[in-house]
């Protein structure tokens, strides 16, 4: 088991390295002069030369990459072109709201979506099942920002139950914090919920066709004991896997959700960086998000042994 | 068994016996609904100039921020541009991006997938690279690409396609690896068929159905990604009316003039929903085992 953990962890290193190479080389492979694109239409020749020097575009690719990668391993992601601040510090300043939003979304999603999938599988073929699956298709189709605006329109502007925009940190009290998180987490969570509910249903249906479920029912166990104790437990691995893969949806959604709700997190930082074409920040954020994604999925891989004792390494 | 697998996906006997439009409608009502909406959107895109629209870029400051009325069906935006016309013309952008990305990503993914499925060395190198690409969340990857290129519709399609290619490659590679072990391929090799013949007669035809389904889902998610990119200002250039652009324009006045966002939002959601429904229908009809794409 321990050897597997080590092996699996080491296996993620090349993946992260490839991401790093890719994110870095984007500057070189895109058509046209990236320095000119970053500088914008009103830039002078000096501006372009300055940006080129800043990004190190004059130096050979490998030299530049080695320097950048070495610094990145030490936590130095370069300096923002626009604010001249270290990218790492800018990320640190913005990370809390994003982390909180993601955690709230994750909790809401799992708490709502897994029971939805279980109920849909249990009542397969009935109108409850159809309603839940209709919700899932809709969830896949309504883009996060459209949903976000509809939620604001309904709950903040018409009903005035919740704040329209803005972020209240946890330090300002749990009540205001939860009020400011509810709509963003819901908007961000819907796609994710749709995904998890669908997989939970499919996975449960597969398990419920097994002989041991029939045996459990024949023993006279209560329906909920069979559903939760036998079926859900055995359906857990695919569900947890898709929760991990779905983090990609969450990360993509964060960028948009923070823009709609004016939350000063990493997503907002990314959008601002795009508008100013501040490439070191974009690089840093993409690298950080991808790294998080890889680590989360590594942890999920390792959790399989806890979820399913039959899996041994 | 061999006689069935020869021509690709199996048809259930019941599907063969019940033909005719009514039977199809009864079996896949949602897919038909999706197809109808999609057809309507295609017609809107093609005939946008003849559907009572005006120039979607025409700025008229005296008519700015008019609510929906008989003259301006969906109202006007901050610059007095007619939102109805902009939304209708926006259909063209969404469909172009959706279909363009779907075709590009499936074609390139198919090619790389076939190569990796057949050549061991290429498999090791390319799949490691694809693993890396797949660990960058797709929208973020497209954002990073768009931040470095000038905004144009072609670049939007390219950027989104790059993010989708690894998933198609994975799918094709998996299919090729499992198809290679099928008795029909073994039989073909025994009968003396060369690689091209195996590839084109046995492998390729069997990838079409899953790719068609996958392509549909890619089309749906590409339309959402385009809207996201345009919404955050890294997508379709502002001089082309796309649904994402219209919504981005309406952002600042959303609380007082929600209609600027609501109309393109409805069109976008409906179109994506339609494509997803068609995809689900195709999946059920062509390959019930194919997992829905993540």
Work out the average pLDDT over B41-58.
80
Q: Is A138 in contact with B148 (Cβ distance < 8 A)?
A: no
End-to-end CA distance of chain B: 32
Q: How confident is the model at residue B11 (pLDDT cuts 50, 70, 90)?
A: very low
Which residues in chain B are closer than 8 Å to A17, comparing Cβ atoms?
A: 132
pLDDT of residue A32: 62
Chain A contact probe: residue of B98, B128, B152, B232 with most A CBs at under 10 A: B232
Q: Return the HEC string of B5-71.
A: HCCCCCCCHHHHHCCCHHHHHHHCHHHHHHHHHHHHHHHHHHCHHHCCCCCCCCCCHHHCCCCCCCC
Q: How confident is the model at residue B13 (pLDDT cuts 50, 70, 90)?
A: very low
**How far does the CA of residue B203 sit from the closest CA of chain A (Å)?**
28
pLDDT digits (tens, 9 = 90+) for B251-260: 877 777 788 8
Pick B148's closest partner by Cβ from A37, A138, A142: A37
Does B220 contact A at CB distance below 8 Å? yes
Dist CA A161 CA A241 (whole Å): 36
Position B106 pLDDT exceeds 90: yes
Does B288 contact A at CB distance below 8 Å? no
Biggest alpha carbon–alpha carbon distance for chain A: 82
pLDDT of residue B292: 42
pLDDT of residue B21: 58
pLDDT of residue B72: 67
Position B1 pLDDT exceeds 50: no
Chain A contact probe: residue of B28, B87, B125, B132 with most A CBs at under 10 A: B132
Q: Which residue of A has its CA nearest to B246?
A: A146
Position B183 pLDDT exceeds 70: yes
pLDDT of residue B17: 45
Which residues in chain B are closer than 8 Å to A14, comparing Cβ atoms?
A: 128, 132
b/e code A35-44 from CB counts within 10 Å (16+ = b): bbbbbeeebe
Q: How does pLDDT run along chain A (313 residues), one tens digit per residue?
A: 778 888 888 888 888 888 888 888 877 766 666 677 777 777 777 777 777 777 777 777 788 788 888 888 888 888 887 788 888 899 998 899 999 999 999 999 999 999 999 899 888 888 999 899 989 988 888 988 889 888 888 888 878 788 777 787 878 778 888 888 889 999 999 988 999 999 899 888 888 888 888 888 888 777 777 877 778 888 888 888 888 888 888 888 898 899 888 889 998 898 888 888 788 888 889 889 988 988 888 888 888 877 777 776 6
Position B273 pLDDT exceeds 90: yes
Pick B140's closest partner by Cβ from A32, A137, A289: A289
- Which of the pair, A166 or B212, is modelled with greater confidence? B212
Pick A279's closest partner by Cβ from B137, B148, B268: B148
Which residues in chain B are closer than 8 Å to A23, comparing Cβ atoms?
A: 136, 144
CA distances, A312 to each of A231, A239, A241, A300, B131 (Å): 21, 19, 17, 15, 24
- Which of the pair, A262 or B53, is modelled with greater confidence? A262
Q: Which residue of B has its CA nearest to A249?
A: B137
pLDDT of residue A163: 79
Does B151 contact A at CB distance below 8 Å? no
Which residues in chain A are closer than 8 Å to B269, comparing Cβ atoms?
A: 141-143, 146
Work out the average pLDDT over B180-185.
84
pLDDT of residue B16: 46
Chain B contact probe: residue of A82, A140, A202 with most B CBs at under 10 A: A140
Q: How confident is the model at residue B2 (pLDDT cuts 50, 70, 90)?
A: very low
- In chain A the domains, ranked by start, together with CATH numbers, are 2-73 (no CATH), 87-307 (1.10.3720.10)
Which residues in chain A are closer than 8 Å to B145, comparing Cβ atoms?
A: 26, 30
Angle at A292 between CA A286 and CA A294, to 5 degrees: 100
């Amino acid at each position: 088991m321990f050897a597997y953990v080590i092996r699996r962890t080491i296996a993620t290193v090349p993946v992260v390295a490839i991401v790093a190479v890719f994110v870095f080389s984007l500057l070189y492979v895109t058509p046209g002069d990236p320095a000119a694109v970053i500088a914008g239409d009103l830039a002078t020749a000096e501006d372009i030369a300055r940006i080129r020097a800043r990004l190190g575009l004059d130096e050979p690719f490998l030299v530049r990459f080695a320097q950048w990668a070495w610094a990145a391993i030490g936590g130095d992601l370069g300096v923002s072109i626009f604010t001249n601040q270290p990218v790492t510090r800018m990320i640190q300043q913005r990370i809390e709201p994003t982390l909180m939003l993601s955690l709230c979304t994750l909790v809401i999603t799992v708490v709502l979506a897994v029971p939805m999938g279980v109920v849909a599988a249990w009542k397969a073929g009935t109108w409850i099942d159809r309603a839940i699956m209709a919700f899932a298709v809709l969830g896949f189709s309504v883009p996060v920002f459209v949903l976000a605006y509809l939620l604001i329109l309904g709950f903040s502007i018409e009903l005035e139950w919740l704040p329209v925009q803005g972020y209240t940190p946890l330090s300002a009290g749990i009540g205001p914090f939860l009020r400011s998180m509810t709509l963003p987490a819901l908007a961000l969570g819907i796609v994710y919920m749709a995904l998890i509910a669908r997989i939970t249903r499919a996975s449960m249906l597969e398990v419920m066709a097994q002989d041991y479920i029939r045996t459990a029912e024949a023993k006279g166990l209560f329906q909920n004991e069979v559903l939760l104790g036998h079926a859900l437990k055995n359906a857990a691995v695919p569900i947890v896997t898709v929760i991990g893969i779905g983090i990609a949806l969450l990360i993509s959604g964060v960028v948009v959700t923070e823009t709609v709700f004016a939350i000063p997190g990493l997503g907002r930082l990314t959008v601002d960086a795009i508008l100013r074409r501040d490439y070191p920040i974009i690089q840093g954020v993409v690298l950080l998000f991808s790294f998080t994604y890889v680590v989360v999925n590594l942890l999920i891989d390792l959790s399989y042994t806890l979820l399913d004792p039959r899996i041994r390494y | 068994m061999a006689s069935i697998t020869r021509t690709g996906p199996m048809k259930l006997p019941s599907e063969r016996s019940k033909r005719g439009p009514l039977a199809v409608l009864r079996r896949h009502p949602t897919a038909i609904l999706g197809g109808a909406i999609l057809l309507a959107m295609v017609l809107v895109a093609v005939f946008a100039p003849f559907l009572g629209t005006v120039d979607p870029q025409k700025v008229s400051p005296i008519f700015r921020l008019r609510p929906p009325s008989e003259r301006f069906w969906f109202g006007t935006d901050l610059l007095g541009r007619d939102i109805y016309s902009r939304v209708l013309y926006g259909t063209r952008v969404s469909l172009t991006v959706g279909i363009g990305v779907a075709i590009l990503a499936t074609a390139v993914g198919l090619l790389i997938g076939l190569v990796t499925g057949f050549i061991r060395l290429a498999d090791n190198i390319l799949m490691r690279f694809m693993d890396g690409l797949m660990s960058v969340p797709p929208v973020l990857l497209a954002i990073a690409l768009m931040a470095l290129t000038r905004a144009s519709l072609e670049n939007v399609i390219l950027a989104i396609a790059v993010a989708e290619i690894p998933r198609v490659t994975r799918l094709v590679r998996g299919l090729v690896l499992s198809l290679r072990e099928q008795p029909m391929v073994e039989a073909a090799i025994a009968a003396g068929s060369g690689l091209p013949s195996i590839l084109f007669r046995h492998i390729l035809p069997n990838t079409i159905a899953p790719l068609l389904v996958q392509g549909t889902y890619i089309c749906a998610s590409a339309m959402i990604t385009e809207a996201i990119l345009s919404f955050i200002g890294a997508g379709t250039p502002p001089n082309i009316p796309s649904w994402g652009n219209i919504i981005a324009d309406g952002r600042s006045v959303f609380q007082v003039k929600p209609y600027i966002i609501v109309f393109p939002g409805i069109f976008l959601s409906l179109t994506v929903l339609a494509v997803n429904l068609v995809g689900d229908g195709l999946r059920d009809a062509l390959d019930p085992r194919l997992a829905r794409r993540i």
